[in-house]
Amino acid sequence: MTDKDVKLTIPEEEKRLERQLCFAVYATAHAFTRAYKPILDRVGLTYPQYLVMLVLWEKRRLPVKAIGEQLDLDSGTLSPLLKRLEQNGLIGRTRDPRDERQVIVSLTETGSAMKSEVDGIMTAIGDAAGCSMEEMGSLRERLHQLRSNLTAAV
């Protein structure tokens, strides 16, 4: 008899919505977005725009495709975000002279200067979460492992 032959019996209590790990992650993601909103409103960014800016503050200049891969966003979702960031003067978009099919996104001086806001944003969200930097790091590592496990399972 193998492990697959043994049928796991899950108690009824564990089948309730509030006991589901997937719901806890889903609800927490929404709570994060709501908590970030007033913090990011002060600097004129939406949460998805903030994520794009984090990528660019780290790399300064990347193809659209690389940004999409890093954030796990398709071009249909990413393109409007980039357009708005460009309209706000935070990024520029240019065709790659070596490959006209690729669009390169780079920070403007205004976008680069906005990086100074990161400490305040991170501190405010840390306060809202009620976690120390160490606790946030531990949670992040657990979530990365969970994501890795789920990705490997499909």
Instruction: Name the band, by pLDDT with cuts 50, 70 and 90, for residue 3.
Output: low
pLDDT given at position 52:
97
Measured in whole angstroms, how far is the alpha carbon of residue 39 from the centre of its chain? 16
Instruction: Name the band, by pLDDT with cuts 50, 70 and 90, for residue 4.
Output: low
What's the structural domain count of the chain?
Answer: 1
pLDDT given at position 26:
96
Residue 18 domain-assigned? no
Q: What integer best gives the mean pLDDT of the chain?
A: 92
Residue 143 domain-assigned? no
Mean pLDDT of 125-146: 93
Tokens standing for residue 125: 């969200």
**Domain containing residue 96: CATH number:** 1.10.10.10
How far apart CA 118 and CA 110 sit, in angstroms, is 14
pLDDT given at position 2:
62
Residue 100 domain-assigned? yes
Domain that holds residue 60: 46-117
Q: In the predicted model, is pLDDT for residue 6 greater than 80?
A: no
91 CB neighbour count, 10 Å cutoff: 24
pTM: 0.85
Residue 129 domain-assigned? no
How far apart CA 64 and CA 51 sit, in angstroms, is 14
Q: In the predicted model, is pLDDT for residue 35 greater than 70?
A: yes
How far apart CA 96 and CA 110 sit, in angstroms, is 22
pLDDT in tens, 67-96: 999 999 998 999 999 999 999 999 999 998
